[in-house]
Amino acid sequence: MEITNVMEYETIAREKLPKMVYDYYASGAEDQWTLQENRNAFSRILFRPRILIDVSNIDTTTTVMGFKVSMPIMVAPTAMQKMAHPEGELATARAASAAGTIMTLSSWSTSSIEEVASTGPGVRFFQLYVFKDRNIVIQLVKRAERAGFKAIALTVDTPRLGRREADIKNRFTLPSNLTLKNFEGLDLGKIDRTNDSGLASYVAGQVDRSLNWKDVKWLQTITRLPILVKGVLTAEDASLAVQAGAAGVIVSNHGARQLDYVPSTIMSLEEVVKAVQGKVPVFLDGGIRRGTDVFKALALGASGVFIGRPVVFSLAVDGEAGVRKVLKMLHDEFELTMALSGCRSIKEITRAHILAPWDKPRVAPRL
């Protein structure tokens, strides 16, 4: 059967992966209301397509943090990809590079920073968790810099791990043949099996709950790399991120895996975009499954989007080729959406191309 959309990869991955692994990738926090809402919210935003525009040539290219990319669709940081496929993050890195887009590597990857860099050329960002031991943080950041990574995505929504009941039921742990490669030499590479989620216990032991805005400033003293603050959902925090010197903001609810009943990413986006007042780019991470979703995010002011679960599920099904295909499908759907909306370039996508539930009724212009 030919796979014709991104969602079909998840269905096949579910059959293929061990239950503990599939559940870890697929599940959200508690009632999983936000997990559903991250998808459902997109369906409440409608198009206002413009007609009779010459769309013989469509240009999906754009610039992200000064780097030219083939499309405003990038790879989000997702942990422990070798649970999905033996080549894990290395396959993902090659696929992102082949697609001409950016990959973000998770701190909790099962391939090291250096291994990912050695896959060949490509623009890559590094996602950072701040550990209690700041020397570990300094080491990670320096390694990312040395390996040619171009930005740090600082995750700020995880002082503690959300309550993911599937992981508790499954007593989630990293399979014994794998390690968190970036921490191997630091005796932090293993996740112990516990009476609940092994990852929750690991986070409780290692990740710094005291993380605050001062640390965002501190990070700028140890690296020249731009810092993207990942996990912003409100105007207030968007403003504070700009004040703290962030080079960009990623609107994310951590794949609905942290606090349940926060709004979807797409519903939080416009508030954040307005708050940063064009001073820094805003990106959306969470819920993207169609090219139409990408267009809606850009119309609401995002400079680009990141995809997470579609990457791990396609990786599980078909390795590097699967990830390449997901990136190509989203590119092609997005390009088609642009054409059918009357937009020939990214800069032609405007707020007037969509109708959101909170918009006031439009008054027809007098002719």
**37-41 long-range contacts, Cβ below 8 Å, gap at least 24?**
37/256, 37/263, 37/264, 37/267, 38/253, 38/255, 38/256, 38/264, 38/265, 38/266, 38/286, 38/287, 39/264, 39/287, 39/289, 40/264, 41/263, 41/264, 41/265, 41/266, 41/267, 41/287
DSSP strand pairing (67-69 vs 62-64): antiparallel
Q: How far is CA 272 from the centre of its chain?
A: 16
Residue pair 331/307 in contact (Cβ under 8 Å)? The answer is: no
Contacts of 91 (CB under 8 A, 6+ apart): 81, 85, 315, 319, 320, 323
Q: What is the DSSP letter of 5?
A: S
Residue ranges for the known binding site are 24, 77-79, 106, 127, 129, 155, 164, 230, 252, 254, 257, 285-289, 308-309
Residue ranges for the known binding site for glyoxylate are 24, 129, 164, 254, 257
Q: Decide if 254 is catalytic.
A: yes
For residue 47, the cross-strand partners are 354
Helix (H) or strand (E) holding 285: strand 282-285
Using the Cα atoms of residue 45, residue 9, residue 329 and residue 92 in order, give the sign of their dihedral: positive
Residue ranges for the known binding site for FMN are 77-79, 106, 127, 155, 230, 252, 285-289, 308-309
Q: Give SS3 for 231.
A: strand
Q: Quickly count: other Cβ atoms within 10 Å of residue 199's Cβ.
A: 20
Q: Quickly count: other Cβ atoms within 10 Å of residue 160's Cβ.
A: 11
Residue pair 32/165 in contact (Cβ under 8 Å)? The answer is: no
Residue pair 290/8 in contact (Cβ under 8 Å)? The answer is: no
Q: Which amino acid is at 367?
A: L
The token pair that represents 283 in the structure block: 């990106």
- Which position among 85, 254, 331, 353 bears the catalytic label? 254
Q: Catalytic amino acids?
A: 254
